[in-house]
Structure 1
Amino acid sequence: MTPMLTRDELALALGQAGEGNRAAFKTVYEATSAKLFGVCLRILSDRQLAEDVLQDTYLTVWRKASSFDATRASPITWLVTIARNRSIDRLRSGAPMKRSAPVEDAHDLADAAPLASEVVETHDDVNRLNLCLDTLEDKVRGVIRTAFMDGITYDALATRENVPLGTMKSWIRRGLLKLRSCLES
């Protein structure tokens, strides 16, 4: 279990660690490592990298604990500053942030984008359909677009256009036959 240390106890342990006391250093580590790891992880966003920087942080603490001055900063502020600076140094060094998969695994990664040939085909089909729709009468073109692109029922279209349902069905049927003929040519 992580010991809960007061500010004074942590300052005392840091001072003793600065004199080479390994037990005091262990106390400092156990009391602060979770917090300092959180600082590193927040800055680096990579668990493995944060663990590496945390180790560097404690190496620095071990070497510089004798320079800690409790009259200038609280022990936790001093420690967080070291962790923060080490993390920022790692970011600036250009070290890879994420471990990447080996290139051999690339064949298993699917690209969700459509193939270029499919995009061209779809674009050509849409252009052709629009050209064929333009050959229809305005009201027939309008009801076909509304029925098939907006999902409006024939009955609702007949009501909207103020025509009998049979008439609406005939308009759409004749229009679709013209479209098919145009698209097949």
Structure 2
Amino acid sequence: MVNATPQANIGQPDGRALLLQLITEVAQGNKSAFARLYGLTHAKLLGVALRILRDRALAEDVLQESYLKIWRHAASYDPKIASPMTWMATIIRHRAIDAVRKRQLEAFGCDDEISAMASDDPDPVEEMHLARLRPKALAAFARLPEGKRRLIMLAYLRDRSRQELSMRLGIPANTVKTHLRRALLELRATMFASVETRTRSAA
């Protein structure tokens, strides 16, 4: 894929700072930085894949696929959420577990089942995005009217069914569904209005 360079002591503070710098440069499309990032980290990340897959050829395939994802999504990396190695290792682990599941289905299932099967594990790139949105979602939730907050909490945090909510609130189940949908739409609108306001302020 790219030429390897000698491994660095990437667990030390100086090593972490170097990886942060390289990921920043990779996010800007710097291929030399990507080659260096690969050289500094591939041996350790191959070890992560091997521990899960116990098949070197498959582990190397997973490693190459994962580095492509790292290249494409470097701009989404947030050092406040995870260290560089933790972020990359999570991507490797996620791909390796998917490969294990696919191999099991190939042995016992069919192609349609394989293509329909989704990993139960959250994608690390998606998690990074959701982690950024979580504080905005909580702030938007706090601004909702009390009745709408209570409805969302009962439905999603306490896992109450529409029928249970209907009996508790004394309204038809279809009305519960309508109220809940409106509450979620208002939550979404409030959250993204806040995001857009901050974006315009920063511009």
Normalising by structure 2, report the TM-score: 0.45
Normalising by structure 1, report the TM-score: 0.50
